[in-house]
């Protein structure tokens, strides 16, 4: 790479990124305004681990060439919470900025979009974490039908009077404790990263229905590294 193409100033890098962003933004604005179809809007709110609430505003449309398109219009920080009024304010601002207020066909009152991922997450949480009596009862019925006692053991470990769910299942408890300690300690995280050659254990969370699957799957692939780490650090 020659010296005339290598950016060495932080101010130059910042201005270059800003200029590129504005250029792409103008291109998207032109695409939206020349779209053959109406602009369909979807929104999604995400609460980050750092307690920041973010609102994604997405557009779905058919462009002037007849191609189905989708684009992120804005990723706004919701300083006033995710009430309907707070979300609507950012949606309207995005529509006004891109000049497509009159081309939308989304109505927050008439068209209530259901988040399938959230629905699945609630079902899995109720079943795996034993937070729902019917889910636990079904977990107990299944092994009787399948002639196996594995699921029965898990269900029995979950159906406690204190209702702690996964925390009463020893393997899940150990995995949760391990990932939490690795996350809290930079030293342990660095040591494990070197031992696992950059791989890591997926941390469980309550917002994604398949997070425990990825946690268990990643832990199984790193069984040897986990055993070494635990013997060295007594995790």
The domain segmentation of the chain, as residue ranges, is 18-103, 120-233
According to the model, what pLDDT value does residue 115 have? 59
pLDDT tens-digit readout, 79-123: 877 777 888 889 899 999 999 988 887 554 444 545 566 666 666
If one counts every other C-beta atom within 10 angstroms of the C-beta of residue 108, the result is 13
pLDDT tens-digit readout, 174-229: 888 888 888 888 888 888 888 888 888 888 776 666 788 888 899 999 988 888 87
């Amino acid at each position: 790479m020659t010296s005339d193409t290598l950016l060495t100033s932080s101010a130059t890098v910042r201005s270059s990124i800003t200029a590129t962003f504005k250029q792409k933004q103008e291109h998207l604005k032109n695409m939206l305004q020349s779209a053959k179809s109406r602009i369909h809007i979807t929104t999604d709110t995400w609460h980050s681990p750092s307690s920041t609430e973010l609102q994604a505003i997405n557009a779905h449309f058919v462009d002037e060439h007849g191609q189905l398109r989708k684009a992120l219009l804005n990723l706004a920080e919701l300083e006033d919470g995710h009430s309907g009024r707070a979300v609507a304010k950012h949606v309207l601002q995005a529509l006004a900025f891109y000049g497509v207020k009159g081309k939308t066909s989304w109505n927050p009152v008439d068209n209530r979009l259901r988040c399938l991922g959230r629905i699945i997450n609630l079902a899995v949480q109720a079943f795996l974490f034993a937070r729902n009596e019917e889910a636990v009862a079904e977990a107990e019925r299944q092994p009787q039908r399948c002639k196996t006692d594995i699921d029965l053991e898990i269900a029995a470990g979950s159906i406690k009077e204190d209702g702690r769910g996964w925390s009463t299942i020893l393997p899940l408890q150990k995995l949760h404790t391990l990932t939490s300690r690795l996350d809290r300690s930079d030293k342990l995280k660095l040591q494990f990263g070197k031992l696992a050659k950059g791989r890591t254990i997926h941390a469980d969370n309550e917002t994604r229905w398949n997070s425990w699957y990825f946690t268990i799957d990643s832990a199984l692939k790193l069984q040897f590294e986990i055993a070494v780490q635990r013997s060295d650090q007594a995790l």
